Structures are given as structure tokens and as C-alpha cells.
């Protein structure tokens, strides 16, 4: 129990706007959710805390981490920020940590599948891209 207690990191709950996605972390369940478009002018302002959260989570304990993404359009600096997050997962995966990404997309917009697919090319951990027809 004491070991569990030291692993608690404050969760993030960042509500989305027109140009920024909804971002929610659930440290207890080992999950991160992101949903929406991301094209803010200053991406580090938005993703800085998320990157720090992932770093701290992965430094602590050995529990799995799953990213559940419903991201649609990302500007190039958001793409860079997501790559930073995937790089952290890749390093953790190299140390036998269980990490995974599932990216859901509207099957009518193939650009989202292509975007997710290009990220997946650079990752060796499980990275699932799931079309949805809703």
C-alpha cells in the first residue's frame, strides 16, 4: 500500500477548445484520453504538462500505460509534441514496460488514418488504428 501511495500523480483534466483537444489522464487506471483537433499556436503550453505527466508516470512503478486517442487534425507542432510522447513510450517499451496506443478515427477521413499510420511506423509497441462508422 505504501508503495502504491508514492505512485499517485495528480491527474490532468484539460477541457478542449476549438483548437485544442480534450486531454484527460487517469493514473489509477494507467490511461490517457485525448480527443479533438489540435492546432494551438504554442503547443508546448498545452502539451508540456502532458509530456511531464507521462515522464513521471513512467518513472514511477511498473504499471502499464494505454493511450486512447480520438485526435482528428494536428498542426505540425502538435505532431512534434505527440512524437515526443510516443518517444517516451518507446523508451519505456524498450525497458519491458507495457505500453499501448489505440487511435480511433472516422472512417470517412482517411487523412487521420494516414497521420496515425505514420506515427505507428516509428513505434515498436502495440499501436492500433481503429476505424469507426459513427
Partner 1 sequence: MMEASDLYSMREYFTKQHILLCFNGPISRSLIEEIGNALKNYLQAERAQPSAATDVFATYIEMSQNIRHYSINRGYGEQEASATVVIARDETGRYAVSAGNLVEAADGRALLARVTALAGLDKSQLKAAYKEQLHRPRSTEPHQGAGLGLLDIARRSSAPMVASLTELTGEQAFFSLRATI
Nearer to partner 1, 79 or 98 (CB): 79
Q: Cell for 94?
A: 524498450
* Crossing angle for the helix pair 76-94 and 43-59, to the nearest 10 degrees: 10
Q: Is 106 in the site for partner 1 (CB under 8 A)?
A: yes
Of positions 35, 60, 66, 75, contacts partner 1 by CB under 8 A: 75
Residues 6 or more apart from 122 whose CB is under 8 A from it?
A: 83, 86, 90
Q: Is 76 in the site for partner 1 (CB under 8 A)?
A: yes
Of positions 35, 60, 66, 77, contacts partner 1 by CB under 8 A: 77
Task: Return the range that interacts with partner 1 (CB under 8 A); candidates 49-57, 63-71, 107-115, 126-134.
Answer: 107-115
Amino acid at each position: 500500500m505504501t508503495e502504491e501511495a508514492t505512485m499517485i500523480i495528480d491527474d490532468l483534466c484539460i477541457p478542449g477548445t476549438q483548437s485544442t483537444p480534450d486531454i484527460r489522464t487517469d493514473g489509477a487506471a494507467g490511461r490517457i484520453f485525448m480527443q479533438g483537433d489540435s492546432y494551438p499556436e504554442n503547443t508546448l503550453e498545452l502539451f508540456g504538462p502532458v509530456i511531464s505527466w507521462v515522464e513521471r508516470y513512467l518513472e514511477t512503478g511498473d504499471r502499464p500505460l494505454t493511450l486512447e486517442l480520438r485526435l482528428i487534425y494536428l498542426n505540425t507542432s502538435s505532431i512534434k509534441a505527440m512524437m515526443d510522447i510516443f518517444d517516451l513510450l518507446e523508451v519505456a517499451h524498450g525497458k519491458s514496460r507495457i505500453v499501448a496506443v489505440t487511435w480511433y478515427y472516422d472512417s470517412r477521413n482517411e487523412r487521420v488514418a494516414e497521420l496515425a499510420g505514420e506515427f505507428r511506423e516509428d513505434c515498436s509497441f502495440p499501436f492500433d488504428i481503429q476505424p469507426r462508422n459513427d
